């Protein structure tokens, strides 16, 4: 009976609306992953591939490149791009460091980065979803469900972070996107 109640609760997203953020959508593939060699990213201003620390890229542009590289599975490049961002404690940097380490199988280190990201920005829905998916992988379903509730409470019902975590809890299968 308890399992049925949890399943029903998971399927009901609640009254909150999805957060409208580019962070909730799959990164658009650019020349960073289609043209640039290892260790470089596309700089639209110069129209060429550059080392992340040498280009004219803003932190927002570097973040988008890091996300794109992470989803492409280029984890070493992702970490290099994150290192080029001006604030190493930016919650976006911490989220993707967590993503990289969770994807590489170091769930504890990934969780540590997610916790730091959430401490800096409690509304970081991606960090909550990724951390919850790590909990699912470890069989820590109550903790995963707690993150799902937080995502919904913070306006993320119906968005990718909520959907991905809900599906992971229901199926036991996590996803990078």
pLDDT digits (tens, 9 = 90+) for 121-163: 999 999 999 999 999 999 999 999 999 999 999 999 999 999 9
pLDDT tens per residue across span 15-56: 333 323 345 667 889 999 999 999 999 999 999 999 998 868
Measured CA to CA, the distance from residue 143 to residue 131 in angstroms comes to 9
Determine how many CB atoms are found less than 10 A away from the CB of residue 16: 16
Looking up tokens 């299968």, which residue turns up?
173
Domain architecture of the chain: domains with CATH: 22-86 (no CATH), 88-177 (1.25.40.10)
Q: What is the pTM of this model?
A: 0.83
Nearest to 62 by CA among 46, 85, 80, 40: 85
Query: E strands, 13-167, where?
Result: 41-43, 48-50
């Amino acid at each position: 009976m308890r399992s049925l109640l949890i399943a029903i609760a998971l399927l009901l997203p609640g009254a909150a609306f999805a957060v409208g953020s580019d962070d909730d959508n799959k990164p658009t593939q650019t020349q960073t992953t289609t043209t640039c060699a290892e260790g470089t990213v596309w700089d639209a201003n110069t129209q060429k591939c550059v080392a992340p620390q040498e280009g004219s890229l803003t932190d927002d542009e570097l973040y988008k490149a890091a996300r794109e590289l992470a989803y492409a599975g280029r984890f070493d490049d992702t970490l290099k791009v994150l290192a080029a961002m001006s604030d190493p404690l930016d919650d976006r940097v911490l989220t993707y460091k967590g993503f990289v380490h969770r994807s590489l199988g170091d769930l504890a280190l990934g969780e540590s980065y997610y916790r730091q990201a959430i401490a800096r920005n409690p509304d970081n829905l991606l960090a909550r979803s990724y951390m919850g998916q790590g909990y699912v992988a470890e069989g820590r379903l109550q903790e995963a469900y707690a993150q799902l509730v937080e995502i919904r409470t913070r306006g993320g019902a119906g968005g990718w972070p909520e959907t991905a975590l809900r599906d992971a809890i229901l199926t036991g299968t996590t996803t990078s996107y």
